[in-house]
Amino acid sequence: MNRPAPRRATALYAVSATCGALGALLWVRGQTAPPRIYGAYLAADSYPRSAWRVWSPAVPEARLGLYLVGAALLLALAARLLSSRRD
């Protein structure tokens, strides 16, 4: 008889999904190229890049996004092992 997943596994899955989503968004944000200047015309005038930094300047946003995606995968694996061990 299948028992429902323990609450700890559900919480780990939720944290994993959140880390994965934030990591993917940060990775995409880090992949966008900085605005290019063509003479006196700023190519990205219609969409200026935000000056707000998510993390330290030593760690680019794309790398932080990959770290979060990796953490999400590890948390999902831990949740899977936790739920299968309880069965």
Question: How confident is the model at residue 69, as a pLDDT?
Answer: 95
- If one compares 57 and 12, the residue with the highest pLDDT of the two is 12
The one-character DSSP state at 46 is T
Burial of 79 (0-12, 13-18, 19+ CB in 10 A): buried
What gap in Å lies between CA 8 and CA 82, rounded to an integer? 8
Band of pLDDT at residue 1, cut at 50, 70 and 90: very low
**21-36 confidence digits (pLDDT tens):** 999 988 888 887 565 5
pLDDT digits (tens, 9 = 90+) for 26-79: 888 888 756 555 555 555 455 555 666 666 777 888 888 999 999 999 999 998
**CA quadruple 18, 20, 24, 26: dihedral positive or negative?**
positive
